[in-house]
Amino acid sequence: MGRYPLLVDDARDEKAIDGIRVLLRDAVERLDVAGARDEGLAVFVPRHRRMLVTREAVLRPAGRVWRLGVLLLDRSGSLHATGSITRAAESNRPTFQSVSAETRRELRVAAVRGHFAVGETVNYDAPEIDLSAAGLRGAGGPLVLRDGVALVRWSPAAFATVPFGPYLAERVSLLTDPPQGA
């Protein structure tokens, strides 16, 4: 009797995972057909030395994603948690106003070094979300699984959640049919 509830939970969780994957495939198709605006996904490679040559920091391209609020969706149906964001910009001289301003300037330049177009939005430090029942059950990220229901958490600190299906539908519709003036 003690193992039976686990089997029921596992079956509900697996059904929820299948539902997530179907919703993601549909979302990719809708976004692709609509030609929705996508953004760059990158991996930050810090400044380092190799064979006595210093290599500057770069945001190395890792694909294209659609921003869906706290989630990033790529064309293969994989989800990433929204991490950090920058906009590619040409190098300009350091202003030395503050360390944080210099760090942001260096990240914008690193995006151009990664061959992103000037002005393009680039997402980095965006971990891929494990779309397995075990990965989502106790997840601390934006997508969680509770009692066989997929839920989206608005922020890592927030406990409040919303159902994944309606959240995804709303976010996809904002990209495929943006509101007037957006």
Per-residue pLDDT tens for 13-35? Answer: 899 999 999 999 999 999 999 99
Give the tokens for residue 68: 């869906």
Q: Is a pLDDT exceeding 80 seen at residue 153? A: yes
- Rounded Cα distance between 119 and 127, Å, is 23
- Given this model, what pLDDT does residue 57 score? 85
Using alpha carbons, list the distances in angstroms from residue 110 to 9, 104, 171. Answer: 46, 10, 29
- Given this model, what pLDDT does residue 2 score? 46
The overall pTM is greater than 0.95 = no
Instruction: Identify the band that residue 9 occupies on the pLDDT scale cut at 50, 70 and 90.
Output: low
Mean residue pLDDT across the chain: 88
Instruction: Identify the band that residue 181 occupies on the pLDDT scale cut at 50, 70 and 90.
Output: low
Helix axes 164-176, 4-34, angle to 10 degrees: 0
Give the tokens for residue 164: 């994944």
Give the type of residue at 45: V
Give the tokens for residue 69: 């609020």
Instruction: Identify the band that residue 101 occupies on the pLDDT scale cut at 50, 70 and 90.
Output: confident
